[in-house]
């Protein structure tokens, strides 16, 4: 039977916007060893803004942005939303076909007779596009039309106001490892890891490579220690399911993520995890 105090703990947590789906997760929060964060929408706001347009060849800036907007018009990814916002106009979706979102890479769509690709360097390499790497700091969306490189769009995201203090407080609370996993490029991943004081970072990961990293981290922790993964749920439901404690950020998170998660942080603040640990510890003192 479940001691009554656990219900008190779950209730106290829910009043603070932390939904805990079972008393076993409160117990696990007491033994947290490793906390793994997804980047976009979790440690960063996930609100991107286009900061640079670098067309290639004959392409104009306007054309570059329009091609990208066509490709991104069906996507819900934060990157897609920033491109649609910068474009500003309406895209005639009826003129588009064979839309495909390639997880961890980007988008492919056919418009009239042109095949448009918009995504990261991995997508360009996979499709054998002869493209030019962009050296600006930021997340890059490379665009190709009918196999010809059309240019790069640089977009910037912002670190959440409380991410840095969340990492410091997790360390104070006894968490041994704080890790960030991202599909984004190494340069931006390392800049963020330094700024936040994370103990480890892995970049350019596909969704299933995030699962593999979590498995490695899981093997390398002490037997009693627990591993939590915190994500926004865009592409990361499998990782949420794999962790001892899968934690979803509720505000941006998809329904699938909230379903797959063991704990839901309703307000998207990383410091909510620190509060959850404090509640778990207090509950333990009452129960045992
Ligand atoms: P993160 O690991 O930062 O949460 P994702 O796993 O959602 O990011 O995506 C990984 C990478 O794949 C992104 O950084 C981006 O380069 C590329 N990507 C994913 N979706 C899109 C899209 N709709 N348009 C362009 N690029 C995309
Ligand atoms: Mg993500």
Q: What is the mean pLDDT of residues 103-109?
A: 95
For each of the domains in the chain, give its residue range(s) and CATH number, in order of start.
Answer: 4-45+160-287 (3.40.50.1000), 49-156 (3.40.1110.10)
Tell me how far the alpha carbon of residue 4 lies from the centroid of ligand 2, in angstroms.
37
For residue 239, give the nearest of 250, 249, 228 by alpha carbon: 228
Q: How many CB atoms lie within 10 A of CB 222?
A: 10
Which mutation among 39, 40, 121, 137 tests ligand 1's pocket best, with the greatest number of atoms within 8 A of CB?
A: 40
Q: What is the mean pLDDT of residues 40-54?
A: 93
How distant is the alpha carbon of residue 141 from its chain centre?
Answer: 16
Q: Which ligand approaches the C-alpha of residue 103 most closely?
A: 1
Minimum CA distance residue for ligand 1 atom 22: 106
Which mutation among 47, 100, 105, 237 tests ligand 1's pocket best, with the greatest number of atoms within 8 A of CB?
A: 105
Q: What are phi and psi of 45, to 5 degrees?
A: -65, -25
pLDDT, tens digit (0-9, with 9 covering 90-100), for 208-266: 999 999 999 999 999 999 999 999 877 788 899 999 999 998 765 567 778 889 999 99
Tell me how far the alpha carbon of residue 6 lies from the centroid of ligand 2, in angstroms.
32
Tell me how far the alpha carbon of residue 55 lies from the centroid of ligand 2, in angstroms.
27
The reported pLDDT for the residue numbered 1 is 47
Instruction: State the DSSP H helix or E strand holding residue 36, giving kind and residue range, or none if neither.
Output: strand 32-38
CB 39, CB 158: distance < 8 Å: no
Answering whether pTM is above 0.80, one says yes
Mean pLDDT of the chain: 92
pLDDT, tens digit (0-9, with 9 covering 90-100), for 268-284: 899 999 999 999 999 88
pLDDT, tens digit (0-9, with 9 covering 90-100), for 27-36: 999 999 999 9
Examine the pLDDT at 101 and tell me if it is beyond 60.
yes
pLDDT, tens digit (0-9, with 9 covering 90-100), for 168-220: 999 999 999 999 999 999 999 999 999 999 999 999 999 899 999 999 999 99
The reported pLDDT for the residue numbered 252 is 54
Q: Which residues are known to be catalytic?
A: 38
**Rounded Cα distance, 229 and 41, in Å:** 13
Closest ligand 1 atom number to CA of residue 207? 6
For residue 49, give the nearest of 73, 78, 91, 89 by alpha carbon: 78
């Amino acid at each position: 039977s479940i001691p009554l105090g656990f219900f008190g703990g779950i209730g106290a947590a829910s009043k603070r916007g932390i939904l805990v789906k079972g008393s076993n997760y409160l117990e696990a929060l007491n033994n947290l060893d490793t906390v793994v964060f997804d980047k976009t929408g979790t440690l960063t706001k996930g609100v991107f803004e286009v900061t640079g347009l670098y067309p290639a060849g004959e392409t104009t800036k306007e054309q570059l942005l329009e091609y990208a907007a066509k490709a991104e018009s069906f996507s819900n990814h934060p990157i897609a939303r920033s491109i649609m916002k910068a474009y500003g106009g309406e895209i005639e979706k009826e003129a588009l076909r064979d839309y495909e979102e390639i997880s961890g890479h980007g988008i492919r769509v056919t418009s009239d007779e042109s095949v448009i690709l918009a995504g990261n360097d991995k997508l360009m390499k996979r499709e054998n596009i002869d493209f030019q790497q962009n050296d600006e700091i930021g997340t890059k969306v490379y665009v190709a039309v009918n196999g010809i490189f059309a240019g790069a769009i640089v977009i910037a995201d912002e670190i959440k106001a409380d991410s840095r203090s969340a990492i410091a407080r997790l360390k104070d609370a006894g968490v041994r490892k704080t890790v960030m996993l991202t599909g984004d490029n190494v340069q931006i991943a390392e800049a963020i890891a330094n700024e936040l004081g994370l103990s480890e970072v892995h970049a350019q990961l596909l969704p299933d490579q995030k699962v593999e990293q979590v498995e490695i981290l899981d093997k390398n922790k002490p037997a009693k220690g627990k591993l939590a993964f915190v994500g926004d749920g865009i592409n990361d439901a499998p990782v949420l399911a794999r962790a001892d404690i899968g934690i979803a950020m509720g505000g941006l998170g998809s329904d699938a993520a909230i379903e797959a998660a063991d704990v839901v942080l309703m307000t998207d603040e990383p410091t909510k995890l620190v509060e959850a640990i404090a509640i778990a510890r207090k509950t333990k003192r009452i129960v045992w």
